[in-house]
Structure 1
């Protein structure tokens, strides 16, 4: 099940995520909130990298065809209690590269 994501900054704190998987494609608008990122301990990371890792994380938990049109990081954190801790681990690992 191959997936690819194209992420583009479209406005301050808004990223358009285009995805393709199994012959289907779509897009979602991901909103980042600097206050939430700071509270979650993710404020020191590049926002686009947070969006990239969040998209990958979400794809591990649901089919990309089911991605909502609009995604707020706070909603992901509410739906997946381990989200913020997982993001810290993943982003720290990328930072170490």
Structure 2
């Protein structure tokens, strides 16, 4: 759980959306506010992230592109090397600019 005293607006918590939704309700219960006291970032951009208030900022996982590249790598002869897939940030209201 995030703690006060690390600077307002600093990112303190990031996890898959299921866990960040829990944190999103626990943070106010501890007397802190999102994003005024703590920023929350999720990793997977599940569809509920946009409906939370404030909206949950997430890192989107391009599942279709990842699957396509994995299949291509499996079907390609030889070493394909490292495969990097862009994972865009979907910025919503759960983060603040560090002050």
Over alpha carbons, which structure has the higher Rg?
2
The structure with the largest strand share of the pair is 1
By relative contact order (CA 8 Å, sep 6+), the higher-ranking structure is 2
TM-score over 0.5 for the pair: no
Alignment TM-score, normalising by the size of structure 2:
0.21
Alignment TM-score, normalising by the size of structure 1:
0.21
